[in-house]
Amino acid sequence: MKSAEIGLMGLGTMGAALALNIADHGFDVAVWNRTTQKTRDFHNDAGGLQDKVHPSESVEDFVAAIAKPRAIILMVPAGDPVDEQIAALRPLLDADDLIIDAGNANFHDTNRRARDAADLPYLGMGVSGGEEGARFGPSIMGGGKRAHWDRVAHILEAISAKYDGAPCATWMGEEGAGHFVKAVHNGIEYADMQMIAEAYGVMRDGLSMSPAQISLAFADWDKGALDSYLTEISGKVAAAVDPKTGKPMLDVIVDAAGQKGTGRWTVIEAQHLAAPIPAIDAAVVARNLSSQRDVRALGEALFGAAPQPMDGITLADLEGALIAGKIICYAQGFEMINKA
């Protein structure tokens, strides 16, 4: 059997999408998942890419299926599972085999793992774009030794998103630099989403607009300077109807937001760096407030929840505020990266 050019462990949503993306770009990829049936199902469902996907049912067979010097992408949950997987892999690998942690890791953990690896090849890699991005073109942020990045750059650049023909994949610096940039990127995204949510709130409560009218406003903004995935999807979500109740989906969804931690890490690190990022900070605070539904219900019982009309505000005003806010939160995020 032909040896795979790269391996991928962990066939969850992101791992499966990334493996198919690698195969779709002509690279042979070895795959393994802790649950054997998931590995089998993934290969069976790979369609025309089956010949490029090499499934293994044991870690030993998986390692043997990859051409030397090996490169293995870990797509396992952040935290202890990464350390456990690295510990299980290392005895099976040669000294020049490369491990790439592509999970949503805290960059401090990546720094530690890089130091623990010493001279053994190791990269921390931020991957952005969700499932669709992983499948058809993610943004990739690498951290570690430049020579280790260069070994796999041809694959990572090929599978990444492109902007004006340039790959959205590059080396960000030593150790956890890639995961650090990914965290700040997520923090910027938190702020972007919070501002969109606040614009929705102004339209709903201040301007008494219906979800259908709000949907049209977002769709119109998406044709101009606010053209982006988040603006586009906000318009579609505002137009969505809950099939069970027939009500607008936004009126049915519970108004409590969770978080995986990257936005929080960004705010914590900004304090250490003395880098002011108030837009991102406010967005993380808003998420934390949203999760305290019992407290908010008590407040509503005391003070009511009557909408406050906002006379004199126009949709053009809101669009301008969103454009300004987007510029501000990006500027704050980039300045924090410069500080670091």
SS3 state at 41: helix
* Residue pair 15/8 in contact by the 8 Å Cβ criterion: yes
Residue in 56, 69, 79 with CA at minimum distance from that of residue 9: 56
Q: Which of 175, 189, 269, 319 is catalytic?
A: 189
Q: Which of 5, 182, 269, 326 is catalytic?
A: 182
CA distance 26 to 61: 22
Beta-bridge partners for 122 = 99
CA distance 69 to 6: 10
Active site residue 189: yes
CA distance 10 to 117: 21
**DSSP letters for 244-299:** TT-SBHHHHS-S-----SHHHHHHHHHHHHT---HHHHHHHHHHHHHT-HHHHHHH
Active site residue 182: yes
How distant is the alpha carbon of residue 51 from its chain centre? 29
Active site residues: 182, 189
